[in-house]
Amino acid sequence: MSPLRRWLPLLFLLAGPLPAEPPPNSSLSPDVTRFILANSEFTVLHEMGHLLIAELDLPVLGREEDAADQLGLIGLFLLHGEQRDADFYAKLLDIVDFWRLEWQRPKPAAEEVPAWDSHGLDAQRFYNIACLVYGSDPERLEWVPELTGLPMERALYCDEEYQQVRKAVDWVRGRYRHAAIQTTPRFQVIYDPPPVNVPDAEVLIAQVRASSNLETLARRASATFALPRALILRLSGCGTPDAWYNRNTGELTLCYERLQHFRQLAETLPRLHQPTAPGQ
Ligand SMILES: [Zn+2]
């Protein structure tokens, strides 16, 4: 079966309306779990982009929110090294899927990102991220533009976009890396008690903890960069599906409500991702 045919269900989904609410279910399927973990990781990496900009006093050309997305996505590639396997591509597509769902889901006007916001519009973030994913390896990922709806006019230059961003991140790594390997993590990961208003919070938290993704992130950031002070990555109930970095306190927060938001969006997706990525 051709790569495209194997992924046609997603194209079908992209053309249709999105269901507003997923069915209630206290257990998580492997696909939903992967979606939650992938997007939690990218969310923390995005916030870590803000953290690096603040803590290392990085120069920023362009909008900081775009730079944080770029730092976050390249961070994902760096974390996985040369291990570009089906699981990694599925993770990248989960992140692309999230931004499409976030863009296209029915939502109240108050939740729409206004044009004047410091963040790009969800649709723009979707296309930017899809472009960097495709541009990371256009030969192996030649199916990505058609699958995601990334227009060829943009896709044509995505390899250059990826190389440009990669060069900037590599410069930061070279300029601010530790002179010697640091063994004591500067990042402490703290899990606050689960809030009562998040359904199945314990289940979601257990999955995140079991993956060790966030602990790995904190450890790698500590080992890679000469951070000027001890920092905290806190998972907490906030009353909103958000995440942020507070440069005054040195705390990066990922809200439990955001895990629940990922879950709700994931459960609007049929089980689409194949265990083996196309082209492999
Ligand atoms: Zn941000």
**pLDDT above 60 for 14:** no
Residue 177 has a pLDDT of 85
Residue 83 has a pLDDT of 75
Residue 18 has a pLDDT of 46
Distant-in-sequence, close-in-space partners of 271: CB < 8 Å, separation ≥ 6 = 29, 31
Residues near ligand 1 ion, CB 5 Å cutoff: 65, 68
Ligand 1 centroid to Cα of residue 36, in Å, is 18
Ligand 1 centroid to Cα of residue 63, in Å, is 10
pLDDT tens digit sequence for 72-88: 999 999 998 877 888 99
**d(Cα 186, Cα 56) in Å, to the nearest integer?**
14
Contact yes or no for 192/253 (Cβ under 8 A): no
pLDDT tens digit sequence for 141-195: 999 999 999 999 999 999 999 999 999 999 999 998 876 665 555 889 999 999 8
Ligand 1 centroid to Cα of residue 98, in Å, is 16
Ligand 1 centroid to Cα of residue 67, in Å, is 9
Residue 178 has a pLDDT of 76
User: Confidence band (pLDDT; 50, 70, 90) for 270?
Assistant: low
Contact yes or no for 182/228 (Cβ under 8 A): no
Q: Tell me the three state secondary structure of residue 140.
A: coil
pLDDT tens digit sequence for 104-140: 988 888 888 999 999 999 999 999 999 999 999 999 9
pLDDT tens digit sequence for 142-153: 999 999 999 999
Residue 194 has a pLDDT of 92
Residue 170 has a pLDDT of 94
Ligand 1 centroid to Cα of residue 109, in Å, is 20
**d(Cα 265, Cα 222) in Å, to the nearest integer?**
32
Q: Which two tokens stand for residue 251?
A: 């705390």
**pLDDT above 50 for 39:** yes
**pLDDT above 80 for 36:** yes
Closest CA to 72 of 172, 202, 201, 158: 172
Q: Which two tokens stand for residue 147?
A: 């699958």
Specify the range with the lowest mean pLDDT, choosing from 31-40, 64-73, 177-186, 221-230.
177-186
Ligand 1 centroid to Cα of residue 50, in Å, is 7
Side-chain half-sphere of 206: how many Cα atoms within 13 Å? 7
Maximum separation of any 2 CA atoms in the chain, in Å: 54
Q: Which two tokens stand for residue 109?
A: 């006007």
Q: Which two tokens stand for residue 207?
A: 């999955």
User: Confidence band (pLDDT; 50, 70, 90) for 3?
Assistant: very low
Ligand 1 centroid to Cα of residue 54, in Å, is 12
Q: Tell me the three state secondary structure of residue 174.
A: helix
Provide φ and ψ at 139, rounded to 5°.
-70, -50
Q: Which two tokens stand for residue 205?
A: 């938290």
Residue 109 has a pLDDT of 87
